[in-house]
Amino acid sequence: IYSFLPMGKRTLAKVENIIREEMDAIGSQEVLMPVLQPADLWEKTGRWEEYGPEMMRIKDRNERDFALGPTHEELITAIVAAEVRSYKDLPQTLYQIQVKFRDEIRPRFGLMRAREFIMKDAYSFHTSKKDLDKTYNDMSKAYAKIVKRSGLKYRSVKAEGGIMGGEVTEEFMILASSGEEMLIYCNKCHYGANIEAARAKLLKREAKEKEKPFKPMDTPGKSSVEDVARYLKVETHHLAKTLIYLADSEPVLVVLPGDREANEAKIQKALGAKELRLFSDDDFKIFPHLVKGFVGPVDAKNKILADEEVLKMRNFVTGANEADVHYINVNYQRDFKADVVEDIKYARKGDICPVCDGSLETTRGIEMGHIFQLGKKYSKAMGATYLDKNGKSQAMNMGCYGIGVTRLLAAAVEQNHDDKGIIWPRNLAPFEVVIIQTDMREKKLTKAAEGIMKKLTDKGIEVAYDDREERAGVKFGDADLIGYPLQIILGKTLLEQGMVELKIRKTHKKEIFALEKTQSEVDKLLNDL
């Protein structure tokens, strides 16, 4: 839990102002909703239970349940449901900049993942999918403008809806080597996705190889993909590994190539499961027909979910559902069939782009914003309807659009810093310029500093004046640490020559100019940042 001191509050206000300007520009209207939300609103959508322990819950003196809002879909939908009557009242796009609460299991990385944070959340309501598409696209463009105006490098990528729901969703990621999220992007086209949603073009490995008779092979004590491959003298991609998940309390065999990693977000979506977890040792005791380390899809008694790539494999190795035994020369269709076939693996560097023939690359990023097309999920649950042109009641189409305001602030620092401190982009800096007076005893320096400050502030430039009784070295270090884009350094020797020194924080480049040219040079340098 963090407080904002004066410098941080100035920067936070700048982020909020940029967001407000871009939201207002596309016709959004600002509102303010309460943090405290009654449980019955969340119970209508089923998310009171679904959200889990991450939601902060409290009881009032009458034992009524409330939540400290982690988000506001239910509340805004209830408000709109009470106010909108006719198709003539739509579309509506409402937003707020408000504090949110989430009981993170491991709060970390400062403002990046805190229990209390500030968020811009917007919600749109429509009569049609076409109208929702328009607002969604407007929001996407507005988000791009917000990030660009903030002076940050970013990528917009396809994403998964998660607990929010929605089939169409996009994340805006601030690029940073310290980012929590892995991003996949194409080196030729504009394709990009977060690691949970990324896809790769399906390879047709071994497709032309003739099917061979399958048979059991003893593999004593060999249960891992690597050990089995080494023992049978085959490559790991010649194995189809079988993972066992509990999906809503039912065992499911998940089959995918031995050299690929299972993507649990895709698995959960493919199964339509509310809850999903890997089998534990206790689960194997409850289901003894599933032999740990040797489970396979042939003659399986449980539901099978197979990765689409398994269908293209030939003569591969699987577990034989018997301790210390594997099958070789297994082939899909002939030896087993899956109940569900989907892409359930993580894409990875070097895979072929699903859009073109480019190669997929990876980078890291920090999620700054996320936009969703929710459809009618919340409007149906909350009774948010309108009367159409024929007087018939219809559920509204809905979108939601979030920006982590305090997270954007932290991401800006992660992307823009060095060993000396922060390097603020101009539009986010608490002040654009700092005047550093090296000796506060020199009245001529004070007079020059005050004159420069007045001229710059009269031109609308934000200026901080370091007039502390501190050594020059301390002031230089603090200016670098805080990250003012430009430093004007006033020293006795240079001033006697009618000169001042300007330092660019980003490059540490220093230039000396005539005192009377300070304003024009500051204008030029700021415009070049």
DSSP codes, 282-330: HHHHHSTTS-TT---STT-SSEEEEEGGGGG--SEEEE-SSTTEEEEEE
Spatial distance between the Cα atoms of 188 and 493, rounded to a whole number of angstroms: 55
Spatial distance between the Cα atoms of 352 and 250, rounded to a whole number of angstroms: 34
pLDDT at 164: 55
Across-strand partners of 246? 251, 277
Comparing C-alpha atoms, which of 519, 404, 508 is closest to residue 457?
519
pLDDT at 111: 83
pLDDT at 109: 73
Comparing C-alpha atoms, which of 424, 393, 401 is closest to residue 152?
424
Domain locations in the chain? Answer: 6-175+367-414, 215-340, 425-528
Spatial distance between the Cα atoms of 58 and 37, rounded to a whole number of angstroms: 10
pLDDT above 70 (res 205): no
Residues 127-160 have pLDDT tens digits of 999 999 999 999 999 999 999 999 999 999 988 7
Block residue for tokens 């690929």: 260
Residues 176-188 have pLDDT tens digits of 988 888 999 999 9
Assigned architecture for domain 215-340: Alpha-Beta Complex (3.90)
Q: Quick one: average pLDDT of 315-332?
A: 96
Residue 5 CB contacts under 8 Å (≥ 6 apart), including other chains: none
Residue 524 CB contacts under 8 Å (≥ 6 apart), including other chains: none
Q: Of 3.40.50.1820, 1.10.10.10, 3.30.930.10, 3.30.70.1230, which CATH number belongs to 6-175+367-414?
A: 3.30.930.10
Cis peptide before 257 (omega within 30 of 0): no
Q: Quick one: average pLDDT of 53-57?
A: 92
pLDDT above 80 (res 108): no
Spatial distance between the Cα atoms of 159 and 146, rounded to a whole number of angstroms: 20
Q: Quick one: average pLDDT of 489-516?
A: 96
β-bridge pairing 154-158 and 340-342: unpaired
Superfamily of domain covering 425-528: Anticodon-binding domain (3.40.50.800)
| CA 336, chain centre distance (Å) | 38
The answer to whether 302 touches 196, Cβ cutoff 8 Å, is: no
Q: How far is CA 445 from CA 244, 420, 493, 496, 523, in A?
A: 74, 26, 10, 10, 22
Mean pLDDT of the chain: 93
pTM of the model: 0.84
